């Protein structure tokens, strides 16, 4: 890929991310409902580490499993960070394990350096105070102070994973805010974005009408939404 082409793709990715971050997750969920995709919001057990954290970007998936292996030469986890591409959101599937903090401060530093814009960890994290201070956006289920060495390891990356009950494929678009995290199939990303923007514009009109004292029932009959 030429340097000129790379800049074009990077700028496009950044623009899409900025447009998503001007929206809110419930609006995107409503659009996905219209497409018959009613189960794209991950479990509410996955929450932002700190108030105000938001994520938006294509998924880079990571699959882990319990492991007693402690030989650094046989553990592929740190190498996965080197594979991160600019603009991705890391999606870490621990297959239900919460015995150890699989993501911490140093993973966040390495990920951010490579352009990763956030992470969704369906499992435990650690170093929470330092991650917050760093400003790296992360959604997670629980916190555990124990290290992954000798307890847990990455087994594969860029494969299909399950995050909060939702199947995620590499490149699916991940959008998260205070209301939760939603997974958008990659081939629908731009269409969903445009339709969500149009929906938010309609909601602005509805909001003004309601603030002006109009009957919610009348507004609902006109717009089919409240």
Per the domain annotation, does 44 fall within a domain? yes
pLDDT higher than 80, residue 7: no
Average pLDDT in the chain: 91
pLDDT tens digits, one per residue of 153-197: 999 999 999 999 999 999 999 999 999 999 999 999 999 999 999
pLDDT of res. 222: 62
Per the domain annotation, does 147 fall within a domain? yes
List the one residue out of 180, 173, 169 whose CA is nearest residue 20: 173
Per the domain annotation, does 221 fall within a domain? no
What percentage of residues in the chain have a pLDDT greater than 70? 91
Helices and strands (H and E) in the chain: how many: 7, 11
The CATH number of residue 68's host domain is 3.50.30.40
User: 181 with 25: CB under 8 angstroms?
Assistant: yes
Q: Residue 109 sits in which domain range? A: 3-185
pLDDT of res. 220: 62
| pTM over cut 0.85 | yes
List the one residue out of 125, 122, 109, 110 whose CA is nearest residue 50: 125
83 CB neighbour count, 10 Å cutoff: 12
List the one residue out of 39, 50, 37, 36 whose CA is nearest residue 177: 50
pLDDT higher than 90, residue 216: no
Q: What is the pLDDT averaged over residues 8-22?
A: 92
User: 47 with 137: CB under 8 angstroms?
Assistant: no
Per the domain annotation, does 215 fall within a domain? no
Per the domain annotation, does 145 fall within a domain? yes
Per the domain annotation, does 214 fall within a domain? no
List the one residue out of 112, 172, 100, 157 whose CA is nearest residue 138: 112
Burial of 59 from C-beta contacts in 10 A (0-12 / 13-18 / 19+): buried
Q: Looking at the 3D structure of the chain, how many domains does it have?
A: 1
List the one residue out of 26, 82, 62 whose CA is nearest residue 163: 62
User: 66 with 124: CB under 8 angstroms?
Assistant: no
Distance between CA 89 and CA 54 in Å, rounded? 11
């Amino acid at each position: 890929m030429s340097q000129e082409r790379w800049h074009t793709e990077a700028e496009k990715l950044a623009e899409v991310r900025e447009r998503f971050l001007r929206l809110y997750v419930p609006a995107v969920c409503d659009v996905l409902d219209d497409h018959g995709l009613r189960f794209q919001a991950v479990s509410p057990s996955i929450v932002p580490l700190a108030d105000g954290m938001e994520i938006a970007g294509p998924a880079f998936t990571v699959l882990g499993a319990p492991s007693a292996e402690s030989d650094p030469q046989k553990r592929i986890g740190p190498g996965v960070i080197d594979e991160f591409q600019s603009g991705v959101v890391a999606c870490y599937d621990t297959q239900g394990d919460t015995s150890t903090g699989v993501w911490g401060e140093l993973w966040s530093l390495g990920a951010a350096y490579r352009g990763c814009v956030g992470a969704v960890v369906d499992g435990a994290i650690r170093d929470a105070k330092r991650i917050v201070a760093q400003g790296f956006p992360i959604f997670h289920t629980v916190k555990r102070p124990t290290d992954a060495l000798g307890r847990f390891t990455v087994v594969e990356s860029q494969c299909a994973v399950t995050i909060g009950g939702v199947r995620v494929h590499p490149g699916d678009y991940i959008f998260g805010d205070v209301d939760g995290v939603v997974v958008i199939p990659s081939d629908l990303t731009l269409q969903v974005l445009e339709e969500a923007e149009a929906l938010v514009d309609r909601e602005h009109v509805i909001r003004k009408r309601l603030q002006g004292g109009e009957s919610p029932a009348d507004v609902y009959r006109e717009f089919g939404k409240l």
